[in-house]
Amino acid sequence: MGGRGVLGVVATATDGVETLRTGLVGPALALGWQVAVTLTPTAGRWLRANGELDRLETLTGLPVRDSPRLPAEPRPHPVADCYVVAPASANYVAKLATGIADNQALTQVGEALGTIGVPVVVFPRINAAHARHPAWEGHLGTLRGAGVDLVYGPDVWPLYEPRRGPAVRELPWTAILDRAAVRAQGNGAFPEGPA
Ligand SMILES: Cc1cc2nc3c(=O)[nH]c(=O)nc-3n(C[C@H](O)[C@H](O)[C@H](O)COP(=O)(O)O)c2cc1C
């Protein structure tokens, strides 16, 4: 187990998710985290297709989860001390804020929102149109109210209109990882959960 504890990394189907290993998982391991990766079903399809899912498993030494376990199966991941959802799609943010838990990536983090002592950091990888959806600000307010640390705003992720942003945009991995380190400091309670 890494000296910093277990970082539950949850990723969704957005542009940039293909850099999850090099941008977030590898650097987190180097900083002393044990990393357990969970993907939404769509992100699982994407990363399985390009070989990244296998590479993530080799790197972390743990299975990458993109589906729930059977009731009789053991939990494939250790209990997370901190969750990072990055990149989070607009779809994922909306579902998390409204309590929907219809895949493993949502189940874990939704439960963490109600678990004392487990910090949650979320990076919404969205565009200007997503942010203008009438429910968007409400979703962010709900998550902030639940103690979620949002990596969000023009300093970390300026919003562009759909299909108008730079062709290649690196996700703000360093800011995301720094936020997890700060939030996990002093977090000593790791309650068991059903995930
Ligand atoms: C190539 C491609 C890139 C996408 N990029 C984004 C994105 O950057 N942000 C976003 O919110 N949705 C993006 N989407 C849409 C999501 O993939 C879609 O909403 C999906 O249902 C999200 O599923 P998930 O939240 O379960 O991973 C993209 C879709 C495709 C096909």
Tens of pLDDT, residue by residue over 33-47, are 999 999 999 999 999
99: left (phi over 0), alpha (psi -120 to 50) or beta: left
The pLDDT value given to residue 195: 54
From 26, 70, 27, select the one nearest 52 (Cα to Cα): 26
| Structural domains present in the chain | 5-68+78-184 (3.40.50.1950)
70 DSSP assignment: P
Helix (H, G, I), strand (E, B) or coil at 189: coil
With 0-12 CB in 10 A as exposed, 13-18 as middle and 19+ as buried, what is 74? exposed
Q: Which of 9, 10, 12, 14 to mutate to test the pocket of ligand 1 (most atoms within 8 A of CB)?
A: 14
- The answer, yes or no, to whether any atom of ligand 1 lies below 6 A from the CB of 46, is no
Which tens digits make up the pLDDT trace of 109-167? 999 999 999 999 999 999 999 999 999 999 999 999 999 999 999 999 999 999 998 98
| Closest CA to ligand 1's atom 6 | 14
Ligand 1 pocket check for 91: Cβ under 6 Å: yes
Q: Kindly provide the residue ranges of all beta strands, DSSP E only, lying in 91-130, ordered along the sequence.
A: 120-124
**Atom 22 of ligand 1 has which residue's CA nearest to it?**
13
* Nearest partner of 87 among 172, 180, 178, judged by Cα: 172
The answer, yes or no, to whether any atom of ligand 1 lies below 6 A from the CB of 126, is yes
The residues, any chain, with a CB within 8 Å of residue 44's CB and separated by 6 or more, are 53, 64, 66, 67
Nearest residue to 93 (alpha-carbon basis) of 55, 35, 142 = 142
pLDDT more than 70, % of the chain? 94
Locate the ligand 1 atom nearest the alpha carbon of residue 124 and give its number.
Answer: 11
* Average pLDDT for the chain: 94
Protein residue with its CA nearest to atom 25 in ligand 1 = 92
Residue 2: pLDDT band with limits 50, 70, 90: low
Environment class of 40 (CB within 10 Å of its CB; exposed 0-12, middle 13-18, buried 19+): buried
Task: Name the one residue in this structure whose structure tokens are 């002393």.
Answer: 32
